């Protein structure tokens, strides 16, 4: 199989933190926020390492990691405020970790447990509820953007002072849901910020083979929405651009699309082998722009961390992840019938039928005996 080569993106994007960790001027966030960003990235890296080992041992079936793209979810999440909403996909776990999202619940979900079972066995007390509202992680492509814009429109109609943030991949921006969501957001001035992870690859297809558009940001023009292009490996630039967009939305000035330019250093997921189709000659270029190393270099130069502090942060991340794995493993096996919980307000005939089919299968009988809703 011939291997694809990505087209290196034009560096016509905003940047604050240079690849060597230097900043021209002042950092856009205070010291506490910088350290929180760094600690979140470190926890995310440890989480990614641990979940990969769990997948290799068969405790997790499939996994998509945030490795190398952490600046986008962390920088953007830091621009939100209490009461705002976030609609992530599978590559933005660090956005929830930034706001204190429990690792054990995320791990239990990856282990295949139903949300209802997780809620019962790993409850979060009301006083520990996250200040930002997070939807469940979306797997279907682009559907989270339509839901996010709908949520933002509802907040606007109810005069709520909330902003909704959602994420999409560069490949997913070819989905109809994406265009429909942007169109509604533009027409109704929805307080919605959409972030496109342009990591150069839609599984095995490079960005320049997905679209004839010069940038993914310009896809917003057809919807009449402002757009901006940002260095996605620069956590400060992502924060600044998202903050501008969030402030615009909160002021009633409508939605924004941000394209964060990064690179998928990892396989698409654990069922993928990028080495089979991808020319890896650009790996060294992107390794020099690693978002964690860049922020760490800046924090060192500003005397905010040193070797001892980094070691302490890494030890804390390791302990938190290991403890979360232990708690997640204690969640008991799910009752398969829980799949029907909380889907509909009342029970329909076809749901009763499906429940009977499940029971028949659990008894070792042929479940496909009746498709009319009668006779079971």
| DSSP code string of 270-316 | TT--GGGTB-GGGHHHHHTT-HHHHHHHHHHHTTS--HHHHHHHHHH
Answer yes or no: is pLDDT of 136 > 70: yes
Angle between helices 235-250 and 291-301 (to 10 degrees): 100
pLDDT, tens digit (0-9, with 9 covering 90-100), for 220-247: 999 999 999 999 999 999 999 999 999 9
pLDDT, tens digit (0-9, with 9 covering 90-100), for 331-351: 999 998 888 887 777 788 888
Domain boundaries, the chain: 31-330
Q: For residues 9 and 258, what is the distance between their CA atoms, to the nearest angstrom?
A: 15
Report yes or no: 59 and 109 within 8 Å, Cβ to Cβ.
Answer: no
Predicted model pTM? 0.94
E-state strands within 126-265: 133-134, 164-169, 192-198, 201-202, 205-206, 227-231, 256-261
Answer yes or no: is pLDDT of 37 > 70: yes
Write down the architecture of domain 31-330 according to CATH. 3-Layer(aba) Sandwich (3.40)
Answer yes or no: is pLDDT of 374 > 70: no
pLDDT, tens digit (0-9, with 9 covering 90-100), for 105-121: 999 999 999 999 999 99
What is the pLDDT confidence band of residue 132, given thresholds at 50, 70 and 90?
Answer: very high
Report yes or no: 67 and 73 within 8 Å, Cβ to Cβ.
Answer: no
């Amino acid at each position: 199989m011939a291997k694809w080569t990505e087209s290196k993106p034009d560096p016509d994007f905003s940047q604050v933190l240079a690849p060597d960790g230097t900043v021209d001027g002042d950092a856009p966030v205070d010291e506490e926020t910088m350290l929180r960003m760094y600690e979140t990235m470190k926890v995310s890296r440890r989480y990614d390492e641990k979940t990969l080992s769990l997948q290799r041992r068969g405790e997790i079936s499939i996994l998509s990691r945030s490795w190398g793209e952490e600046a986008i979810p962390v920088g953007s999440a830091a621009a939100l405020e209490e009461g705002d909403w976030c609609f992530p996909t599978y590559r933005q776990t660090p956005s929830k970790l930034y706001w204190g999202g429990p690792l054990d619940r995320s791990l239990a979900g990856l282990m295949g447990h139903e949300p209802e079972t997780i809620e019962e066995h790993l409850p979060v007390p009301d006083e520990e509820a996250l200040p930002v509202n997070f939807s469940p992680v979306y797997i279907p492509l682009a559907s989270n953007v339509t839901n996010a814009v709908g949520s933002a429109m509802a907040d606007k109609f109810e005069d709520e002072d909330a902003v909704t943030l959602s994420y999409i991949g560069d490949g997913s921006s070819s989905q109809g849901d994406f265009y429909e969501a942007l169109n509604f957001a533009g027409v109704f001035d929805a307080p919605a910020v959409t972030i496109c992870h342009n990591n150069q690859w839609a599984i095995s297809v490079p960005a320049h083979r997905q679209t004839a558009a010069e940038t993914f940001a310009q896809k917003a023009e057809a919807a009449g929405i402002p757009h901006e292009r940002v260095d996605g490996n620069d956590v400060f630039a992502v924060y600044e651009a998202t903050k501008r967009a969030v402030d615009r939305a909160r002021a009633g000035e409508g939605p924004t699309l941000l394209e964060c330019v990064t690179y998928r250093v990892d396989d698409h997921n654990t069922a993928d082998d990028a080495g089979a189709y991808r020319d890896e000659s650009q790996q060294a270029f992107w390794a020099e722009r690693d978002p964690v190393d860049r922020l760490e270099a800046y924090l060192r130069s500003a005397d905010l961390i040193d070797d001892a502090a980094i070691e302490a942060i890494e030890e804390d991340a390791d302990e938190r992840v290991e403890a979360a794995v232990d708690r997640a493993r204690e969640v008991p096996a799910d009752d398969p019938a829980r799949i029907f919980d909380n889907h509909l307000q009342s029970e329909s005939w076809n749901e009763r039928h499906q429940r009977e089919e499940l029971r028949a299968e659990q008894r070792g009988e042929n479940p496909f005996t009746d498709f009319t809703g009668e006779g079971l």
